[in-house]
Chains A and B, each alone.
Chain A
Amino acid sequence: MTTVSNPVDDFTKRFMGDPLPPIGVKLTEQQRRARRARSIAIALALGAFVIVIFLVTIVRLGGNVLTRPM
């Protein structure tokens, strides 16, 4: 098996010592699951909001929903 070296890591190693640790936050399993649940809830809420807007538009405009000035 051949290993492909990363030119950025090579450069860092040669001129700046060991490569930097990965940047960013590593989520725990619990945090990842909580974020996923919150994202799904926000998606459902937005979906419900769109449906409400759609239904009220239909109710308010009735048969005129397709009538618009050309």
Chain B
Amino acid sequence: MSLTVARVEPSIAGVGDYIELMKPRVMSLVVFTALVGLVVAPGHVHPVIGMTALLCIAVGAGAAGALNMAYDADIDALMTRTANRPIPRGRITAGEAAGFGMTLAAFSVVTLGLLVNLVAAVMLGFTILFYVVIYTMWLKRSTPQNIVIGGAAGALPPMIGWAAATGGIAVEPVLLFLIIFCWTPPHFWALSLYRTEDYARAGVPMLPVVAGDRETRRHILIYTLLLAPLGVTPWLLGYAGPTYGLAAAAVGAVMIVLALRLRAERNGDAASKQMFAFSILYLFMLFAMLLVDRMPGLAFGHLAL
């Protein structure tokens, strides 16, 4: 019997590589939406408990990002957008990323459970599991509906924020979940329209790869038509003031105009790039307005005129 021992070179990975592994841009959106869920929830949360909850959610999101990169290293190496990530670049091994991700996941969920509450911890654990197992390992490589169903993971943070503040779930955070859930497809399909070759090379069945540009543009319009009115519902149901309602209607209208232009465009990537960029601003505006709405004296809805 022979024993083969693989010689592993000592790591040259710096702190920056590990931070990159946590997908800091995705993490910032997760933290922001979770903060909104936490702030709009009824009752008072001690700032230290609130900050702890956000820290755990941020670390949990980073863990999910690291585990995603560990599993997807093979296809990341084939796509221009992701070829520069730490694993394809040879800075970190997939095993190191997996270990890092699992450690962070365990720490974030257990800490959230012990220091904040169990409901929020269970939801954070479910979100990480959903993103890594359901989206990354299963859906991403098997169906063009990957980002539609997988989008649930990205939509959960405001519900976790709400649960951290209240210990439960209500209609309002479910609305916030639905807004992000309907926002994800137009956002990612707009990106995949001008990255189709990348996804095709990696064998990822994104909608433009499987069904073509025309069908993707139609799908983007359908989801945008669902999203725009959904964005206004927090005001219609009385959860937010008129400032929010007006802003949501305005940015929703811009989203529809961009989706219509994208549908009409025959050649070039200008409209899809514009749609992708504005979709980020759209979600940011919506959640920022919800925050403003909850701060007395800042929103018109709360001014004693």
Contacts and interface: CB of A to CB of B under 8 A. Distances in A.
Nearest to A25: B10
A59 B53 CA distance: 14
Nearest to B46: A59
B49 A56 contact: yes
B49 A41 contact: no
A40 to B, nearest CB: 8
A55 B15 contact: no
Contacts of B107: 49
Contacts of B115: 52-53, 56
A40 B18 CA distance: 13
A41 B100 CA distance: 13
Interface in A1-57: 25, 27-28, 30-31, 34-35, 37-38, 40-41, 49, 52-53, 55-56
Contacts of B43: none
Size band of the interface chain B makes with A: 10 to 19
Contacts of A56: 48-49, 52, 115
Contacts of A38: 11, 13-15, 18
Interface residues of chain A: helix, strand, loop or mixed (majority): helix
Interface string B233-256: 000000000000000000000000
A27 to B, nearest CB: 6
B184 to A, nearest CB: 31
Contacts of A55: 48, 52
A31 B49 contact: no
B63 to A, nearest CB: 13
Given A41-B18, A56-B115, A59-B46, A30 B52 contact: no
A59 B48 contact: yes
A45 B112 CA distance: 16
Given A56-B52, A59-B46, A31 B12 contact: yes
Max chain B Cβ within 10 angstroms of own Cβ: one of A41, A53, A56: A56
B11 A34 contact: yes
Interface string B150-186: 0000000000000000000000000000000000000
Contact of B52 (A28, A37, A52): A52
Given A52-B115, A56-B49, A37 B14 contact: yes
B129 interface: no
Given A34-B13, A41-B18, 16 more contacts: A30-B12, A34-B11, A34-B12, A35-B10, A38-B11, A38-B14, A38-B15, A40-B15, A41-B15, A49-B107, A55-B52, A56-B48, A56-B49, A56-B115, A59-B46, A59-B48
Interface of B: 10-15, 18, 46, 48-49, 52, 55, 107, 111, 115
Interface of A: 25, 27-28, 30-31, 34-35, 37-38, 40-41, 49, 52-53, 55-56, 59
